[in-house]
Structure 1
Amino acid sequence: MTSAIRLPVAVLLPGTGSDEVFVRSVFGGPLAALGVPLITPAPVPGKGLAEEFLAELDRLADRYGTVLAGGISFGAHLAAEWAVANPGRCGGLLAALPAWNGESGSAPAAMAATVTADLVADAGVEGALAAAAAGSPGWLGDELGRAWRRHGGGLEAGLRVAAGRRAPTLGELRRVGVPAGVGGCADDPVHPADVARGWAGALPRGRYRETSLAAVGVDREALGRVTVLAFLGALLG
């Protein structure tokens, strides 16, 4: 049924300090099962991180006409921001682990990004990685090690950009009329599941499903599957 609907190409963005490798590990399999081509832009580290991602969404929408926009954490924020501003070019939304709506304020993810940026400024990328690995599951430490080193000297600035950028408000999300799947993790204190449920409730055609960080640690696609299944529920419901 979904192949007959001809879903557009998916353009999915990574979260703060993350990269396209992680996005593809989460969403590659679930979208391939639907026959949906996946484009995962690499981050351009530094102060222009957000604007470069938004510009890439514009470029790809110009090329393909419409895209299925989405991402993980900060990437989901940017995709939703773009969807609000481009109602005729967004064919759907895949939002995994949104961290706040409106101003970031004291949201746990924003505070964590700021603390990490301060640590990078004081101890460098390698020092920050050592501290992060000490308090993280092994799989997450491995992901951070690859991605943070790739961000390199731009990591601190990118973290501060993400921490201070407003996400769409719930009122703005109510104007996004495309099918939208929102995925959350019930045991993630940095990306509270209540925020993801709030997004799904505000989006007119939003649906929500959740998994756990424990499951993602074993199988990265667990997060992609629940987000894609939520999207299919919105599309077909």
Structure 2
Amino acid sequence: MTCTTAVLLPGTGSDEVFVRAAFAGPLREAGIALTAPAPPPDGTALIEGYLAAFEATAAGVDGKLLVGGVSLGAHLAVEWALRHPERCSGLLLALPAWNGVPDGAPASVAARISADMVERDGLADALRIATDGVAPWLAAELNRAWPRHAAGLAAGLRAAGAHPAPTLDALAQLRVPVGIAACTDDPVHPVAVANAWAAALPRAHVRETTLAALGEDRAALGRAAIEAWQQASASQGSD
């Protein structure tokens, strides 16, 4: 494993603060520097903005990148790697949400419902509704991250919820080692999706954790993805 730079994107409605909390420590222990782009300000150009962040980092790095992200970020990392296989050394994928078109996937439905609430009720009331009854740590994440998207939040939620994920056939084209992290207690990002991705990918492993563990230590998510990637690299050889 020779890569020294990782570029990781957040999930829908999240931000680079969460990415750093989850991945910076475990990556540092592995000797890898983290680049975590902030959400693009224009929600209508969310997808294009995030993909451009991969391009911008790749342009300034001599060698291959370790790319990845959380939920939507994981989807887009695969999309970029498929376009630029010569620049990708591996993938760290946390909580993939669906494959192919969303077609009623829980994360897609949740994003659309959240967008509706923001547009109909305003940010403050939407946050009150979205955080009612959820774990305190997750409520704190939403209360911090959603306002950072400002006027682009609803459009960004809609763009994320509608954007196709990689198909299983597309995943089969990737030959780099892939680590996938899944939370067994997360109905929005089903473990079955993570396992389906791993089965389709030629060189992938899954490590499980829980949302409850993330509540105690956000790095549990990054650690699971990195350990799975290291296992994939060690068991099948690294590029």
TM value normalised by structure 2: 0.96
Conserved? CA contact 1:72–1:95, under 8 Å? yes
**Of 4, 7, 13, the match for 2:3:** 7
Contact in 1 for aligned 2:23/2:223 (Cα 8 Å): yes
Which runs of structure 2 are paired with 1:169-180 in the superposition (5 Å)?
169-180=167-178
Query: Which of 28, 31, 35 lines up with 1:32 in the alignment?
Result: 28
**Residue of structure 1 equivalent to 2:107:** 109
1:92 maps to: 90
Structure 1 alignment gaps of length 5 or more: none
Aligned Cα root-mean-square deviation (Å): 0.8
Q: How far does the alpha carbon of each residue in 1:165-220 deviate from its partner, in whole angstroms, 9 at most, with x for none? A: 00100100000111100010011000000001111111111111110111111111
Counterpart code for 1:102: G
Deviations 1:132-182 (A, max 9, x none): 121211100110011001001100000000000001001000001111000
Quick check: 2:9–2:74 contact (8 Å CA) kept in 1?
yes
State the Cα distance separating 1:124 from its structure 2 match.
1.1
- The amino acid that maps onto 1:59 is A
| Counterpart-to-counterpart distance in 1, 2:55 and 2:175 | 19
The share of aligned pairs that are identical, in percent, is: 53
8 Å CA contact retained: 2:65, 2:89: yes
Q: What is the distance in 2 between the residues matched to 1:135 and 1:175?
A: 41
Query: Equivalent residue for 1:77?
Result: 75
CA distance in 1 between partners of 2:20 and 2:114 (Å): 24
- Preserved contact between residue 104 and residue 165 of structure 1 (Cα < 8 Å): yes
Match of residue 203, structure 2, among 202, 205, 212: 205
Unaligned runs of 5+ in 2: none
User: Whole-Å Cα distance in 2 between the matches of residues 110 and 142 of structure 1?
Assistant: 22
CA drift of 1:7 comes to: 2.1
Partner of 1:47: 44
1:58 shift after superposition: 1.1
